[in-house]
Amino acid sequence: MAHPVSYEGTAENFDQLVLEPKGELVVVDFWGDGCPNCDIYAAAEPALLAELEGAPMRVVKVNAYQYEDLARRFGLFGIPTFLLFREGKLIGKMSQYYGKEYWLGVIRDHLPAA
């Protein structure tokens, strides 16, 4: 089975990558250059996704500074912020990256039932 895929989200492809997919969890990672916690998550992301091998999910990374309109659309106040979507609906939110076990726990709690 494959690892979940990470995509670069933009204003142009956001709805297609985040709101249209069916049958999977979509994690939107709002990040920014110069954000220490964003850098910590980015370094940990390959290992995190490896632990979720075969999970019905994708990660969409959105630069909150470059796409401020998207950050405002969801009322974000800080980064990193992770929004969780399923079937086009916002179902969860994590503000900040609190480490591997916390992140994985929240993600696993929101994965679609097999």
Domain boundaries, the chain: 1-61+91-98
From first to last of its 114 residues, what are the pLDDT tens digits of the chain?
A: 455 778 999 999 999 999 999 999 999 999 999 999 999 999 999 999 999 999 999 999 999 999 999 999 999 999 999 999 999 999 999 998 899 999 999 999 999 876
* H helix intervals, 22-90: 36-51, 68-73
> What is 1-61+91-98's CATH number?
3.40.30.10
pLDDT digits (tens, 9 = 90+) for 41-57: 999 999 999 999 999 99
pLDDT at 1: 45
d(CA 81, CA 28): 8
pTM over 0.95: no
Residue pair 10/69 in contact by the 8 Å Cβ criterion:
no
pLDDT at 114: 64
Candidates 100, 31, 90, 40; CA nearest to 61 is 31
d(CA 20, CA 114): 20
